[in-house]
Structure 1
Amino acid sequence: METFAVAGLPEIRAGDDLAALVGERVDFEEGDVLCVASTVVSKAEGRKADLSAFPPSGRAEAIAARLESVTGDPKDPRFAQAVIEESKALLTEAPFLLAATRFGHITVNAGIDRSNVPGADLLLLPEDPSASAEHLSETLDVPVVVTDTSGRPFRYGQRGVAIGWASLPAARDWRGESDRDGRELGVTVQAVVDELAATANLVAGEGGGGTPAVVVRGWAFGDHAGSDDLFRREEDDVVREALEEWAFDG
């Protein structure tokens, strides 16, 4: 398998044809997967915003004050309001904002970015990352994964994850297949779009590298059943249920 960044992409602006910009720089081959950072998808879709667009509600004022008392750092209630408006629900309001997005992803601050956003205060996630991936996939005739970076429970650090995908299943299902000793696998479902996103993130990097699109070449889904289940349903998510009953007392 080979993984390489798409070189020479310009700073993406609202209305730019991201598919054309990538397609001009890559000769895609059968079996390629294109992984694209959500930041450039959001920029092309005009998802930059200023804090002034989010006048704070009483709830946002209270959240900001609570976070400031917990962390000791100043907190802007307008940012808290932006997180509220970009979320379907807040699972925690302290010691940080853990939000469920409208498309199913759960992440800190609803995935709102404050870095690499020239000319604006904030960059919001795409409204529908899978629809964004579908558009790119149809135009470029290649499977697409829209990626973001996210922290992980029980571990330090961030890694790449998929927040949208098109023209490939989210997971490959090994259940019913056998291990080397002939035992049938009963629970193994591999989240391949997350693994592709993490692989791409190793090449794209973080910060100011300017390489938000990565091609994974030579990867094959294989002869497995596929599934688009990635985000857990609320009724099956015991961690979410526990968080909803938990209150931070710091």
Structure 2
Amino acid sequence: MRMELFTVDGLPLIKKGDDLAAMICERTELEDHDAVVIASTIVAKAEGAMVLKSDVVPSERAINIAKRIGKDPALVQVVLDRSVEELVKYPLLLVENLNGHVSINAGIDDSNVEDNYFLELPHDPDGSAKAIGERIADRCGKDVSVIITDTNGRAFKIGQTGVAVGVYRMHPILDWRGENDLFGNELEITEEAVADEIASAANLLMGEAAGGNPVVIVRGFDLHTRDDVSVKEMYRPDNEDIIRKGLRCLRQSSD
């Protein structure tokens, strides 16, 4: 088996309305069943998913949380506006955003964006991935998978890694249940988070800070499907999520 990853070079700074699919097709030779891995930052910029800081009026609640965690009250207000549940409020703000993704500050950032704005995650990452994939098919005639990524920290470990926040034409989970291991034992619980693994590998080439490469092509690891897919396939059901239950207990005892 062999898998190849390479960056799409020469992309300009992305602005609202830019055609990411056309930019990618113009700068690389795609093949059918490639996986096109795209940083959420440029997708959000192209879609205009930005909030002007001066337009944000922090509530008293946002101000109180901001004082406690040492953050900009305007940022806290935007996070609260884009969240359905706050799992941790101190010493950081860990929330579930409107799309079901759990992350610090709802994935909202003020780096790699103009000084006066907060940058959100794409509002519908699966929809964004589908639109880009379909546009690539129209523009350069290639049937590809698309993964939109963000960087997340991890419980119990230091450091961030790439994760999938939106997918197209690739199931985010590879289900090994029912298969046999090397000794003939049937696997009962093994479900591999392949979209996150690909996102993490691509993140090695994307880089961080000013030298990033926001689009990576993954070739040779073919998980392409014509099924309807969603990144939400990998979100653990609420009634099975013991970590979330524990955080809720801690939150209730501290409120």
| TM-score, with length taken from structure 1 | 0.92
Shift of the 90–77 alpha-carbon distance from structure 1 to 2, 3 Å rule, reads: same
Task: Specify the alignment match of 1:128 in structure 2.
Answer: 124
Instruction: Give the 3-state SS of the residue equivalent to 1:81 in structure 2.
Output: helix
For the aligned residues, what is the CA RMSD? Answer: 1.9
| Pair 1:47-2:43 in alignment | no
Which residue of the partner structure matches residue 64 of structure 1? 66
2:80 aligned partner, one-letter code: I
On the 8 A contact 1:171/1:227 being kept in 2, the answer is no
* Preserved contact between residue 48 and residue 120 of structure 1 (Cα < 8 Å): no
| 1:121-151 Cα deviation digits (max 9, x unpaired) | 3111110101000001111131000000000
CA contact (8 A) 2:82 2:106 kept: yes
Q: 2:236 pairs with 222, 232, 237, which one?
A: 232
Matches of 1:245 and 1:32 in 2, distance apart? 44
Alignment partners' CA distance in 1, 2:30 and 2:236: 33
Question: Is 1:86 matched with 2:82?
Answer: yes
Distance 2:224 2:170 in 1: 12
Residues 166-181 of structure 1: pairs in structure 2 closer than 5 A? 166-181=168-183
4+ residue segments displaced more than 6 Å: none
Give ranges in structure 2 of 5+ residues lacking alignment.
Answer: 137-142
Q: Gaps spanning 5+ residues in structure 1: where?
A: 69-74
Deviation of 1:119 after TM superposition, in Å, equals 5.0
Once the two structures are superposed, the pairs formed by residues 1-250 of structure 1 within 5 Å of their partners are 1-68=3-70, 75-140=71-136, 141-221=143-223, 229-247=233-251
SS at match of 2:86: strand
Q: Kindly indicate whether the alpha-carbon contact (under 8 Å) linking 2:36 and 2:145 is maintained by their aligned counterparts in 1.
A: yes
Shift of residue 241 of structure 1?
1.2
SS of the residue aligned with 1:7? coil
Task: State the Cα distance separating 1:92 from its structure 2 match.
Answer: 1.1
State the TM-score, normalized to the length of structure 2: 0.90
Would you say how many aligned residue pairs link Structure 1 and Structure 2? 242
- Percent sequence identity over aligned pairs: 45
Work out the CA distance in 1 between the residues paired with 2:122 and 2:33: 26
CA distance in 2, matches of 1:242, 1:39: 31
